[in-house]
């Protein structure tokens, strides 16, 4: 393995979340698929924003949430993702750097504005997301800095990027650089709609490039076209070196060849908003991994980080996550 100076580099869409509380009737009225992430165009985003209640803005994005969580745990990380040189882009850039994450992706100076995700949180703490990708789809292979990727022990890639040609090229370039430097590649499936749209692409990308796969139950079942979770799990054991499968309140299952762990979720007094649960699970898991902890300990760290994030509104940590970790 080459000399690495970073623990983790995350690559994903750079998004500002706009969160509001709403009820099921609003989702029905606006024809929103509860619990899902749906891509919308600028017009649809504008129309829906007009219907939306007063909102709170917080930096978001899946891999960027993971990186903020990773830094909060004490990890040394960088994020690669694209914003425009507008006010929301300024907010995103500020927040990720203020969270302790290195962020040097050049800003887009023309084209679509910074991406935003309208998030509707219902009383059952479910979140329904409508994302306008804006400037984030301008991320391309030219934004992948070879030196940066090669310097990171693990490169973490967000499946959401697969939705654009340039994002896909960026992911593949990064994966090749990481492998060439003798480092690890991690990938999250991000959403079942992506899996359905790009199943064969995903399977061959995973086989060719991925060492550590993250997926939730719905995503992994869609990927391997299985009947149930156990069936998914049996298929997944053969897909890559490590698979971490998350199951909400049922915890997670880790498969690494013959080594299997079934780990409980962290106890949470009250689930307030599940936004970011998967992102923070990955943060905790990869923190443990880059600290050379065993896989069960990695999964426990994932559970702890996810538990913190779902106990409040928003997908970035409110308290330093390092304080939640058990002593080494």
Taking CB under 8 A as the criterion, which residues in 76-95 touch its own copies?
86-88, 91, 94-95
x/- track of binding to its own copies for residues 167-206 (CB under 8 A): ----------------------------------------
Which residue, 80 or 88, has its beta carbon nearer to its own copies?
Answer: 88
With CB under 8 A as the rule, give the number of residues binding its own copies. 27
* Beta strands 77-80; 6-11: pairing state: parallel
CB of 97 to its own copies, least distance (A): 9
Distances (CA, A) of 163 to 6, 168, 210, 223, 284: 27, 7, 18, 16, 26
Question: CB count, 10 Å around CB of 176?
Answer: 16
Which residue, 23 or 165, has its beta carbon nearer to its own copies?
Answer: 23
Taking CB under 8 A as the criterion, which residues in 7-66 touch its own copies?
18, 21, 49-50, 52-59
> Is residue 307 part of the contact set for its own copies (CB under 8 A)?
no
CB of 230 to its own copies, least distance (A): 40
Query: Among candidates 276, 300, 306, which has minimal Cα distance to 288?
Result: 300
Question: CB count, 10 Å around CB of 154?
Answer: 23
Provide the token pair at 49: 């924003």
CB of 274 to its own copies, least distance (A): 18
> Is residue 314 part of the contact set for its own copies (CB under 8 A)?
yes
Whole-number Å distance between alpha carbons of 138 and 108? 8
Which residue, 53 or 327, has its beta carbon nearer to its own copies?
Answer: 53
Which residue, 131 or 183, has its beta carbon nearer to its own copies?
Answer: 131
Whole-number Å distance between alpha carbons of 6 and 153? 6
Of 230, 294, 318, 322, which lies in the binding site for its own copies, with binding defined by CB under 8 A? Answer: 318
Whole-number Å distance between alpha carbons of 207 and 210? 6
Taking CB under 8 A as the criterion, which residues in 104-163 touch its own copies?
113-114
Which residues lie closer than 8 Å to 111 by C-beta, 6 or more apart?
Answer: 84, 135, 138
Whole-number Å distance between alpha carbons of 234 and 262? 14
* Strand ranges for 71-151 from DSSP E: 77-80, 102-103, 115-121, 127-132
CB of 99 to its own copies, least distance (A): 5
> Is residue 260 part of the contact set for its own copies (CB under 8 A)?
no
Cα 241 to chain center, whole Å?
20
> Is residue 67 part of the contact set for its own copies (CB under 8 A)?
no
Please identify which residue in the block is written with the tokens 């908003």: 273
Which residue, 14 or 195, has its beta carbon nearer to its own copies?
Answer: 14
CB of 14 to its own copies, least distance (A): 14
Burial track 112-125 (b if 16+ CB lie within 10 A, e otherwise) = bbbbbbbbbbbeee
Note the residues at the interface with its own copies (CB under 8 A): 18, 21, 49-50, 52-59, 68, 86-88, 91, 94-96, 98-99, 113-114, 314, 316, 318
């Amino acid at each position: 393995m080459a000399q690495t100076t970073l623990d983790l580099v995350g690559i994903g869409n750079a998004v500002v979340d706009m969160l509001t509380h709403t009820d099921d009737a609003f989702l029905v009225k606006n024809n929103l698929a509860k619990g899902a992430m749906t891509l919308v165009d600028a017009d649809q985003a504008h129309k829906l924003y007009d219907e939306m209640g007063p909102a709170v803005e917080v930096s978001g994005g899946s891999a960027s949430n993971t990186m903020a969580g990773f830094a909060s745990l004490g990890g040394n990380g960088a994020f690669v993702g694209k914003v425009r040189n507008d006010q929301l882009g300024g907010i995103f850039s500020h927040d990720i750097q203020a969270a302790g994450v290195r962020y040097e992706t050049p800003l887009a100076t023309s084209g679509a504005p910074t991406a935003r995700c309208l998030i509707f949180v219902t009383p059952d703490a479910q979140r329904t997301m409508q994302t306008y990708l804006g400037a984030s789809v301008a991320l391309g292979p030219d934004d992948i800095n070879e030196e940066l990727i090669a310097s990171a022990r693990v490169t973490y890639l967000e499946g959401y990027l697969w939705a654009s040609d340039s994002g896909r090229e960026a992911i593949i370039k990064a994966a090749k650089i990481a492998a060439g430097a003798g480092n690890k590649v991690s990938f999250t499936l991000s959403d079942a709609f992506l899996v359905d749209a790009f199943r064969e692409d995903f399977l061959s990308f995973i086989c060719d490039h991925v060492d550590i796969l993250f997926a939730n139950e719905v995503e992994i079942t869609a990927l391997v076209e299985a009947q149930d979770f156990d069936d998914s799990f049996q298929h997944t054991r053969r897909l890559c070196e490590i698979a971490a499968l998350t199951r909400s309140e049922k915890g997670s299952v880790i498969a690494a060849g013959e080594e299997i762990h079934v780990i409980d979720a962290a106890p949470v007094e009250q689930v307030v908003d599940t936004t970011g649960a998967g992102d923070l699970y990955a943060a905790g898991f990869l923190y443990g991994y880059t600290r050379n902890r065993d896989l069960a300990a990695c999964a426990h760290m994932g559970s702890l980080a996810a538990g913190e994030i779902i106990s409040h509104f928003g997908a970035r940590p409110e308290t330093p996550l390092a304080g939640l970790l058990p002593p080494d």
